Amino acid sequence: MIGYFDLPSGLSGDMFLGCLIDAGWPIEELRSVISQLGLPPAEWSIQARSVMKGPLRATLVLVHAHEGHHHRHLKHIKQIIESSRLADAIKARAVRVFTRLAEAEAKVHGSTVDKIHFHEVGAVDAIIDIVGCVAGLAALGVTDLYSSPPALGSGFAQTAHGQIPLPAPATLELLAAAQAPTRDNPRPGVVGELLTPTGAALLAELATFRQPALRMQRIATGAGQRDSDWPNVARLILGQPAEETNVDQSGIIQIDTNIDDMNPQFFAAVCDKLLDAGAKDVWLTPVQMKKNRPAVVLSTLASADLEDTLCKLILRHTSTLGLRIYPVRRHEAQRTFAKVQTPFGEISVKLKWLDGKPVSAAPEYADCLARAAANDVPLQKVFDAAITAAQPLLA
């Protein structure tokens, strides 16, 4: 199953949890997950109720932390999570979310990840939000999460560091690191925080910022705590990947050029530049040209809006004097990405979908190469382990 967040009013940790509970994850299971962290029961409580946000019904999750102001460092939060009884995959994803927060806070405050402490972010409510969101996605079977551009808000907020502009500096750093797009606020002149650092960290680590093709099955709505003159909600759309074959992609072009007078050592650099500029694929074909001269056909597949950019790049970085442009139609299978656990560590796999079902899995080469090096084992052994771990994901 895949999920898509529609975020007209930003996102916070409790809004994320509200979507998960509204999607059918029992509140009792959320409480059970948090109880596995070993936090004293007297320090926290979680409630959920149905509320109206303007004309829309939504689920509001209230996380109450009864501790004092603990200024935890990242190592303390990692100890809490990693010493819990949660599944290893949930622990690892939750730690990665907190690590992103630490890196953002450290950059904002001119410090280091080891020295930064989280103030509110390190409190029990943030731990509940982040661990709960990661566990809830797993419980609902959401293997891939996507998001619309989030609204940010504006104004100023009072923090432990003093007054800061909104969106919070850490929020902006998290979005920048993920190269995330943003959207206009729901009303002109909106004052207040819409996307929190916790919400931004969850999106940056867990979501891809684009709208997928999917067959919708459930719509879940999570409420923000603030009442506004617009529905302060986030919507999570759950479903299965939609089949994308037989789609006429008339906006695709192929650029070809024959080159017989360039040092072949330079082709790798040109191919890298084309891919970095947005080309979908680049390949080289050996040919025999006039006067029996050996040559290479440099071919580039790209969206039509990149034609001018890529043509200029090829003309600048190769010896060719001319290019050929062809419109291309493609049939493309839907693909998604998932993480699998192997004896050598976590590895990303690409899933190919046909008729609404995943039919094959391909481990990411870079992940396998890194795990093979880290464990001093053959690459083939890591690759085979990833294929085996991905089998339960296939139809």
The span from the CA of 377 to the CA of 384, in Å, is 12
For 245, phi then psi, to 5°, come to -75, 165
CA pseudo-torsion sign 233, 198, 136, 368? positive
pLDDT digits (tens, 9 = 90+) for 211-240: 888 889 999 999 999 888 899 999 999 998
Q: Which range, 40-49, 65-74, 135-144, 184-193, has the best average confidence (pLDDT)?
A: 135-144
For domain 252-328, give the CATH number: 3.30.70.1380
pLDDT of residue 158: 73
Decide if pLDDT at 248 tops 70.
no
Using the 8-state DSSP alphabet, how is residue 232 labeled?
-
**Whether 145 contacts 3, CB under 8 Å:** yes
pLDDT digits (tens, 9 = 90+) for 322-331: 999 999 888 8
Please name which of 202, 218, 180 lies closest in space to residue 3, comparing C-alpha atoms: 218
- Three-state SS across 65-126? ECCCCCCCEHHHHHHHHHCCCCCHHHHHHHHHHHHHHHHHHHHHCCCCCCCCECHHHHCHHH
Going by C-beta distance under 8 Å and a sequence separation of 6 or more, which residues neighbour residue 263? none
Q: How many CB atoms sit inside 10 A of residue 303's CB?
A: 14
Residue intervals in the chain for CATH 3.30.70.1380: 252-328
Can you tell me which residue has the tokens 């090829």? 314
Q: Which ranges in the chain belong to alpha helices (H)?
A: 13-22, 27-35, 74-82, 88-108, 124-140, 169-177, 197-206, 267-276, 307-317, 365-375, 379-390
Q: How confident is the model at residue 106 (pLDDT cuts 50, 70, 90)?
A: confident
* % residues pLDDT > 90 (the chain): 62
4: enclosing H helix or E strand: strand 2-6
Please name which of 27, 59, 33, 29 lies closest in space to residue 46, comparing C-alpha atoms: 27
Decide if pLDDT at 161 tops 70.
no
The span from the CA of 100 to the CA of 105, in Å, is 9
